[in-house]
Structures are given as structure tokens and as C-alpha cells.
Structure 1
Amino acid sequence: MPRLHPTIILFFILFTLVLRAQKKPNVVVVLVDDLGLGDVSYYRKAHSDTIIVETPAIDALAKNGAVFTNAHAPAALCAPSRYAIMTGNHCYRSDAPWGVWGSYEKSPIKENQLTLSKLMKQAGYQTAFFGKWHIGGDFLKKDDPNTIYRGPRNKPELDVDIKKIVGGGPRYRGFDYALSFQAGIQDVPYAVYEDNDMMPLAKDSKITYISQTKMDKIGVKLDKAEGLGDSNWNPHDMGPLLVKKAMDYIDANAHKDRPFFMYYSALAVHLPHTPTDELNGIKIAGTTPSKHLDLVKELDVQIQILIDTLKKQGIYDDTIIMLTSDNGGLLRKNTLKSGHRPSDIYRGGKNQAYEGGNRVPFIVSWNNHFKHQINESPVLGLDIMATLAELNHIEISADQALDSSSLLPLLENETEDLDRVIYTQSVTGKEVMLIKDGFKLILQVDKSDKSNHTQTPIALFNLNDNPGELEAHNLITNAQYQPKIKELATLYHATRKSGRPTASRFVNN
């Protein structure tokens, strides 16, 4: 057999090295449900020596990457935040600015709207969704298979065929593969969907009515309404199922020609708090002061499993991991009694207008690429869109992702700060919040005005010297700060009325 000329061998070696150098990194975005800043021990240790529950896996990501200490969820409640993170648009640009809460409601994401998955497909990625969707979807009516079911929320919905998602789910919004829970573990349908089809949880699974009486037998208190689901539904098992399917996906796609984009939308740490007994050889249930904190521990073990799987496949160094939360932490009695502080030093928690409602962890790790840093720039969860766009040299069109700023210059240490106005909102209380240069204005939206155009300033805090938003230092009636209130209110109204982008897509352009 003739031997290859050394020049040819050298050419193939160089060609292989060039291909490897040009291959894009895999991307894993982890969106956690109800994880507060203080739930991550890395963040909590900055202000306290009392750590009730350690999160070693998440802490390791933080120590190896960029840690944003002034990061905000787009809203203080999950559903509107999920729309904003997926599209790069503020919640108010949605047809349902306060959120789409029912699995059988119409998705607020338009078919022609850019999503993270569509962006990454455009960049040449294979795309996969795992976990809680909570951005609406289409199911057919049982008694009329030609009609999409739309029904009331928080009451039993029985005239719906839950066997198949026919629109509005992750497969219809740009994901090549999906293992989805349409409302997480908190609401109907109590079922798991692989791609668009209901995935039986056991060989004898059938569609049945999931009642509180049925759940009492397995120690589960339903968070929302009774309704249809898989007869083998047990939320204690859903976290392990989710991470197992994600592991399988990584194993199957680690060395394909195209890199993968995984959106891992964790079920933890939302109610009902149903930790598994054991995961990855680690005891979970009953090992912390509350079931809530058991789930924080379970979440961290899931992250460790994902990291270990990437390392086992030899692709950890070639994978960007972004981790954040959809809103602030939960203020549960047993958790607080233990001394744990889900919101760290900040006031309030989930669904509140105070910082504890929307101040969240935000960590970006890419081993040997992004240097460790602690960054105080104001950022938002919806900035993931523009960051991934710039990373892939994709220019976002003028009518898409209007509020997303690229964080790549911060991650690559090209700039130390991002000049940014933070706009966010609560939900049930219908407050909106604007933060500029550390001054935070809270406006109360008139609940009788369905246009959401009537707002009244109700609080002004200087977060620079009052990060805990102590009410004694509410500046709303202080004569000295009336010009500041007017300035921020004018900025808010101008932003809403203009319809133009509120953020530069690439801050280093």
C-alpha cells in the first residue's frame, strides 16, 4: 500500500485543526424556576457567613465564569419573564403583558417572531428544549377535533384532548427536539410531551383525572387546579426524569457535525415542593430544613449531572453555560425560619415590586475562554438573545428582540460597564419599575385601565445607599427628589410610546 506524502499528511492535520478551531461552542441556557439570589450560596456568601444550603455545582460555575450581581428577571413572576427571555422583548410588547398562565391559552409568541431557538438554528445549531414551557399552546377540543380548545383557568378543564400539542409549543417555536412540561409541575396538563406527543410515564399510563385526593396518596399538594394528566403522574419523579433526558441528549449529540443549543428550563424550585428521595447517589428529600430547600439542593445536583455529562463526553471546554432565574425567590415560612434568605439582602420576593422579586442570579461560564469576574453592570435575562447573536455574528433585524443588549463585551473584558436602564415589572400587583443610575422608581398601574397606560409613582429608592429599599428612605414625597421622579417617569412613558428598541443590540458596535 503506497504511503502518503508527508506534505499531504501535514495538510490533513492542519485542516483538522482549523475545523476544530472554527467549530462553534455548544450552548446550554439554564432557566431556573423561582431561584432567588440568596438561594445560590456563592451569592449569599458575599453578605453572610450563615449558609443553610450549599450549592457547590452552581458555585463552581460562578468561580469559573462571569458573575453578574445586578441582574434582573424581566418580571417578578415566571410566565411574562419566559416570554421576554425567549424573544428578547420586554413583557409590555406582548399581547399578554402580565403573562399567559394557562397551558391552553394562545401563545403570546407570534409565528414570525424571533426566538432563541430560531436564532440558534440560523447560526447552525441543533436546538433542544427541556422542561417547563409556560408560554401557552394549542390543544384540540375533545368533542370537536377541528377546533382549538380555549378554556378558563383554575377550574377543571375536561373538554380538551391532551394527547398532542398542535401549536404554540416549543417545537412550533424553533426547537428541533423538545421534552416539555406545558406548565411545569404546577398546573394542567399533568403530563410530559416528547416533541408534540404525550409521552407515557409508564407502560400502563392512560389519561385520567388528577385530583387532590389522588395526589394525597403520594404526599403532593397541588399548586393549581385539578385536571387531566398521565395516570402515573408523580412530581417527585419529574426532576430526575428531566435531567436524565437531558443527559441522553448530550450523549447522543455531543460529537455531531453541528453544535447543540440546549434550553434547560428547570422545574425546580417551584411549588409543589416534591423533592426526589435520591439523585446521582445523593440523598435529597429530608436533608434540609424545608422541602423548598430540598429542591434547591436537587437543582444543584442536576446542574452537576449536566456538567459531569459534558465532561464525560469531552466537550465541557467547548460549551458555554448560562444560568439565571425567571424571577426572585420564594418566601416560605419553614425556609425563612431556618435562617436562609432567598432574596439575600434585598426586600421582598417573588411577585413583588421590590428587588427581591426580580433580582436574580446570572452566571455565564465558558472554561478557558471567559475569565472569572464579578460584574455590577445592570443586566436582564432577555440579554441572552443579543449575547448569542453577537457571539455568532448575527445581526438582529430592526423589528426583533427590541430590548436585548449583548453582554459579550463584558464577558470578553472589552468594557467594564454597561450603561443601561433597567425596566421590569411585578405581575399580580401590577407595578412597573424603572432603574437608572441606581435610582428606582415604582409606578402603580391603574388596574381598571386595561390599556396599562395609566400609572402613578408610588416609591422612589436610591439603591446605591439603600439596596434593601427600607421604607423609611422612600423618597417619593421628598421635595428634593421630585425632579428625579419626573425624569424617570418621563423616561418610562417615552420608552413605552416610542416602540423603538430600548437597548443597543451590540454595545461595542
Structure 2
Amino acid sequence: MKFKLVVFSAILMGVAFSSEAQITKKPNIIVVLADDVGVGDISHFRKLHKGKIVLETPNIDTLASEGMYFTQAHAPAALCATSRYSIMTGNNNYRSPNPWGVWSGYAKSSISKEQLTLGRVMQKANYKTAFFGKWHLGTDFASKSDPNKVFQMTRNKLSLNVDIRKIKDFGPNQNGFDYSVTLPSGIQNEPYSIYENDVWLPLKKNSKIALIDSVYMKSIGTVLDKKVGLGDSNWLPSKIGPILANKAVKYITDNAKKEKPFFMYYCSQAVHTPHMAAAELNGVKIAGTTPSKHIDMIKELDVQIGMMVAALKKQGVYDNTLIIFTSDNGGLHVDGETWNARHEPSDIYRGAKSDPYEGGHRVPFIAVWPNKIKANQVSEIPLLGSDILATIAAAGNYKMANTEALDSYNLLPILQNKEKIHQRNHIMIQGGTGKEVIIIEDGWKLIIQIDKKDKTNAKRTPIALFDLNTNETEDERFNFINHKKYQKKIQKLFKSYNQTRDSKIITGLH
């Protein structure tokens, strides 16, 4: 009898220990970066201003209700590549060797092999790491004429002397990700192909390397968005989302019960042009089911999120997974059909992608971790996408050095209600192709023009001052840049921006 009691007690202790271990185990972490999604594209955020809802996004809305969402979240830049650099490294764009512009799939990487990245920090935290989707940070391919040399792209010249069958260097696998499914430049630019662990993944068995030009794009029902270039002879943007989503679900399924936790950086192709949504995904019909092709892509993005969440729940790891959802920049300037439907990607905000106004860089931001973050919370604390790196490092219990991720702020104390105010004095954002920069402090926003001809970026001129506390739509009638009353405010913000940038001050708190 005593033996039975001892055995039964041991079983109970084992169950208790197992349950406790499940709770105390490091969380799995998934960061989802949408492409060109504004706050008005997500119905949860659109409802905050009682705007017209053209499309419900139920899966993303559920995430917002199950964790904390932020109403003053900003992309580090109003343009894709520069923003992605900052999110990947935790550094402001001005610290990059290439602080401006959009980089092609063949561009030289702005990230050094010694630099901390999302992947490298999670490897240091003893995580398995994976990357899915749009890279857009520069990639090395071999020259076709000399495989030992890196192909050097010539501006405005057709890129034919490049072997696109394999990523040679500076892709995700060389930047801290153990596994990858990669679009070097998204669905919109060369090379028009997808890669699994650096190796070209043919879309069909009969796929070959072929020239993708305007004639080819017209044949598949779209237009050439960027450059003529090499790619998969069966290139079809509508097939990419399903590949990414299904590969991500498989990765979750294969790794959920492993001893090591996993980190996944999922960079969706949605909702960048060309707007060619999947006909169907996960049993849900998509293409042609909304008022516009643009809105179809938003629906596809929401289905992708739903698939990953369902996989986490099926594997029993959802409660101990930290999910962060955001976008690389503000929403798009809409097409005619989207406009006619009265869908507003920027919600109430002025401007859109590439603009220095709020519509260009204000983005949705949601964090969910059922074991650690209380549900149904909203925060008005300003944050940047660059804060993701310090946050996931803290969640993975990795202590970064002060010389790493210089502009990344750890959001965990805010997410777990241990900190009520933001410790930053201000946030600094980069605009788009117009070469503007922004500083926001206590709701006051100064837009500064960088001289486009000045390669040192030192010639700067304040061009707009808005009080977002009373004028969050940036009504030009209340642009105080020439108002006598606000000249001291302008000079204070301008001095603060210049001092922070020029003295290389560390702004992040790890």
C-alpha cells in the first residue's frame, strides 16, 4: 500500500513539475512583419476612429483583443528597406552605411557579419531560428561568368550575368537564421524567385531560369512593378503567399515540441504590389472576394495569421508563444477600386507610404503572450519597430551589450505592466524618398528636410511643426513652422535631433 502511495505521489509530482516547466520554459517567439499595411487596413484599429469597415480582419483583431495593442506605434522609416534594416538590427537608419533608398535583391548588404540581428540575438539566446518571406536587405549572388566572384549590379542595366540558382552570401542563413524561405526582394523585383535555405525553390517541376519582363507580366494578368530581370519561368505572385504560410505552419508543427524554443521572423508578401492574391488559402476563397485586388491582399494576410495561430494552438504552445504583429511602413496610396470602396489604409492620418506624415510611418502594433501579457490592453506609449529586437532578446533572457542594437528599447516592462511611462525622451523616424526625417517629443512633431544634394546629410532644415495632441491629422492650417510663438519649440526639437544623431547617442534601453 505504501509503495502505491509513493508511486502515486511521484506521478503527481511529475505532472506538477511538467506543468511548471511548461509555464517557466522560454517562450516561442513569432514576429510578423506585414508589407505596406497601414493602421486603417486592420479593422480593429479602424474601429477606434469609427471609420467605415470595408473588410474585417478577424484573425488579427483577435490577436489585438488577446494581448496589448499600441495606438502610437511607428515604423522606423516610411519606406520598406530602410525600415527593415532598423527592425533587423535595432539601429536607427542613420547608423547604416546606406541610410536612404530601396535596395534591390542584388544590392550590397548594409549589415556586417559581426552585427547583431534578430536571428543572431535569438541564436545567442539558444533558440532555433527561422526566416520566411521578404528579405530586402541586400543579397550576394555569384557572377555567372565567374562563380568565385560576387555579381555586381550596374544601375539601370539589365542583370543577366548573375547565377540566381543559389544565394551566395548575406541572406538570412548568413545573418542568424538556421532555416529560411526567402524572397530576396519581395514579389515586386528581381530576382523573381524564391529560395529555401539559399537554394532556388522551383515553383513547378518544369521551371527554368527565364527573363521576366513586361510582356511576361502581362501574360499572367499584371504589370511589371520594378525591373526586368531573371526569375522562375513559372513566376506567379499569387502562389507565394500560400508557400510562405504553409511552410511556416510546417515549421511550427515540426518544432513546437522540441527541447529548444523557436523564433520565427515572418515577413509576409502581403500587401505589396503586384496585387495578386491567392485564389484560395486554407479553404478560404480570397482573390475576387473583396472590392479590390489591394483589399484581397489584406484578406490573404489575415488568413495567413489565422493559419499560424491555429498551428500553435493545435500543438498546444499558443499560451507560451510571444507574437508580435506590425508593418514595415504605413499603408499604400490607394488604387481606384480601393478608393471607390472608401477603404482608408492610413485611417484618419495624413499621407501614406514614403510620406513624412503619420500615414507614412504610423503602423499597427500588437503583442500577445497569454502566459505573460494580460488581454484587452491598449497603450498610447510611442514605440518604434526597432524596439522589437531588445524586446525579444529580453523575452529570451539574453542580455545585450550597450554597444548592440543602439536604438532598441525593451518593451517587456510595458507589456507586463511593470512600467507605465516610456523612458525615451523622443523618437526619431526617417521619411521616404523625399529625404525627410522626423522627431516626436511629448506629441510635438518636427519634420526636417535633408538636402537631397548633400551626401553628408548634414544640411538640415525644419519644414513643419505639428502638435499631434490637438492635430493628429496634421492639418496644414496648424503647421506652426513659421509661427513666432513656436520658434523656441522648433529650435529645441531641432537641436535635440541634431545632437542625438551627430553625437551617436545611444537611445535604446535594454
Tell me, which stretches of 5 or more residues in structure 2 are unaligned? none
TM-score (norm 2): 0.96
The answer to whether structure 1 residue 318 and structure 2 residue 320 are counterparts is yes
Q: 1:261-272 alignment to 2 at 5 Å?
A: 261-272=263-274
Task: Work out which of the residue numbers 461, 466, 470 in structure 2 matches 1:456.
Answer: 461
Q: Which amino acid aligns with 1:188?
A: E
1:397 alignment counterpart = 401
Deviation (angstroms), 1:426:
1.1
Distance 1:239 1:166, change over 3 A: same
Partners of 2:277 and 2:9 lie apart in 1 by 60
Task: Work out which of the residue numbers 474, 477, 480 in structure 2 matches 1:472.
Answer: 477
Which has the higher mean CA deviation after the structures are superposed, 63-72 or 46-55? Answer: 46-55
Which has the higher mean CA deviation after the structures are superposed, 119-128 or 366-375? Answer: 366-375
Task: Work out which of the residue numbers 370, 379, 402 in structure 1 matches 2:373.
Answer: 370
Which has the higher mean CA deviation after the structures are superposed, 282-291 or 297-306? Answer: 282-291
1:253 alignment counterpart = 255
Task: Please tell me whether the aligned partners of residues 36 and 331 of structure 2 are also in contact (alpha carbons under 8 angstroms).
Answer: yes
Task: Work out which of the residue numbers 62, 77, 80 in structure 2 matches 1:78.
Answer: 80
2:361 alignment counterpart = 358
2:493 alignment counterpart = 488
Deviation (angstroms), 1:14:
4.5
Task: Please tell me whether the aligned partners of residues 285 and 294 of structure 1 are also in contact (alpha carbons under 8 angstroms).
Answer: yes
Partners of 2:200 and 2:51 lie apart in 1 by 46
Q: 1:63-142 alignment to 2 at 5 Å?
A: 63-142=65-144
Deviation (angstroms), 1:504:
1.9
Q: 1:227-306 alignment to 2 at 5 Å?
A: 227-306=229-308
Task: Please tell me whether the aligned partners of residues 132 and 182 of structure 2 are also in contact (alpha carbons under 8 angstroms).
Answer: yes
Q: Which amino acid aligns with 1:183?
A: S
Q: 1:124-203 alignment to 2 at 5 Å?
A: 124-153=126-155, 155-203=157-205
Deviation (angstroms), 1:370:
0.8
Q: Which amino acid aligns with 2:392?
A: L
2:428 alignment counterpart = 423
Q: Which amino acid aligns with 2:210?
A: T
2:341 alignment counterpart = 338
Task: Please tell me whether the aligned partners of residues 155 and 225 of structure 1 are also in contact (alpha carbons under 8 angstroms).
Answer: no
Partners of 1:296 and 1:433 lie apart in 2 by 28
1:504 alignment counterpart = 509
Task: Work out which of the residue numbers 210, 213, 220 in structure 2 matches 1:211.
Answer: 213
Task: Please tell me whether the aligned partners of residues 51 and 347 of structure 2 are also in contact (alpha carbons under 8 angstroms).
Answer: no
Partners of 1:49 and 1:439 lie apart in 2 by 25
Q: Output one character per residue of 1:322-377: Cα deviation in whole Å (capped at 9) or x when no partner.
A: 00000000011321221111111110000001000000000001124311211000
Q: Output one character per residue of 1:285-317: Cα deviation in whole Å (capped at 9) or x when no partner.
A: 112121111100111111111111111111111
Q: Output one character per residue of 1:182-203: Cα deviation in whole Å (capped at 9) or x when no partner.
A: 0110100011110111111111
Partners of 2:459 and 2:453 lie apart in 1 by 9
Task: Please tell me whether the aligned partners of residues 343 and 349 of structure 1 are also in contact (alpha carbons under 8 angstroms).
Answer: yes
Partners of 1:10 and 1:48 lie apart in 2 by 52
Task: Please tell me whether the aligned partners of residues 26 and 395 of structure 2 are also in contact (alpha carbons under 8 angstroms).
Answer: no
Task: Please tell me whether the aligned partners of residues 155 and 226 of structure 1 are also in contact (alpha carbons under 8 angstroms).
Answer: no
The answer to whether structure 1 residue 381 and structure 2 residue 390 are counterparts is no
Q: Which amino acid aligns with 2:395?
A: L
Q: Which amino acid aligns with 2:497?
A: Y
Q: 1:35-54 alignment to 2 at 5 Å?
A: 35-54=37-56
Deviation (angstroms), 1:417:
2.3
Partners of 1:215 and 1:482 lie apart in 2 by 52
Q: Output one character per residue of 1:63-98: Cα deviation in whole Å (capped at 9) or x when no partner.
A: 111010000000000000000001000011000101
Distance 1:300 1:276, change over 3 A: same
Deviation (angstroms), 1:25:
1.1
The number of residues matched between the two structures is: 505
Task: Work out which of the residue numbers 421, 429, 445 in structure 2 matches 1:440.
Answer: 445
Tell me, which stretches of 5 or more residues in structure 1 are unaligned? none
SS of 1:164's partner is strand
Partners of 2:19 and 2:311 lie apart in 1 by 24
Deviation (angstroms), 1:11:
5.0
Distance 1:49 1:446, change over 3 A: closer
Deviation (angstroms), 1:425:
1.1
Task: Please tell me whether the aligned partners of residues 101 and 433 of structure 2 are also in contact (alpha carbons under 8 angstroms).
Answer: no
Task: Please tell me whether the aligned partners of residues 185 and 267 of structure 1 are also in contact (alpha carbons under 8 angstroms).
Answer: yes
Partners of 1:36 and 1:274 lie apart in 2 by 19
Task: Please tell me whether the aligned partners of residues 100 and 136 of structure 1 are also in contact (alpha carbons under 8 angstroms).
Answer: no
Distance 1:66 1:143, change over 3 A: same
Deviation (angstroms), 1:153:
4.5
Task: Work out which of the residue numbers 412, 415, 428 in structure 2 matches 1:411.
Answer: 415
TM-score (norm 1): 0.96
SS of 2:166's partner is coil
SS of 2:78's partner is coil
The answer to whether structure 1 residue 347 and structure 2 residue 350 are counterparts is yes
Q: Output one character per residue of 1:255-281: Cα deviation in whole Å (capped at 9) or x when no partner.
A: 111111010000000011101111122
Deviation (angstroms), 1:466:
0.5
Distance 1:85 1:3, change over 3 A: same
SS of 1:145's partner is coil
Task: Please tell me whether the aligned partners of residues 376 and 417 of structure 1 are also in contact (alpha carbons under 8 angstroms).
Answer: no
Task: Please tell me whether the aligned partners of residues 80 and 102 of structure 2 are also in contact (alpha carbons under 8 angstroms).
Answer: no
Deviation (angstroms), 1:6:
4.8
Distance 1:282 1:14, change over 3 A: closer
Task: Please tell me whether the aligned partners of residues 102 and 153 of structure 1 are also in contact (alpha carbons under 8 angstroms).
Answer: no
Deviation (angstroms), 1:477:
0.3
Q: Which amino acid aligns with 1:344?
A: D
Q: Output one character per residue of 1:436-495: Cα deviation in whole Å (capped at 9) or x when no partner.
A: 001100110001110111100110011110101111110000001000000001001100
Q: Output one character per residue of 1:205-230: Cα deviation in whole Å (capped at 9) or x when no partner.
A: 11111122112121021210111011
Q: Which amino acid aligns with 2:353?
A: K
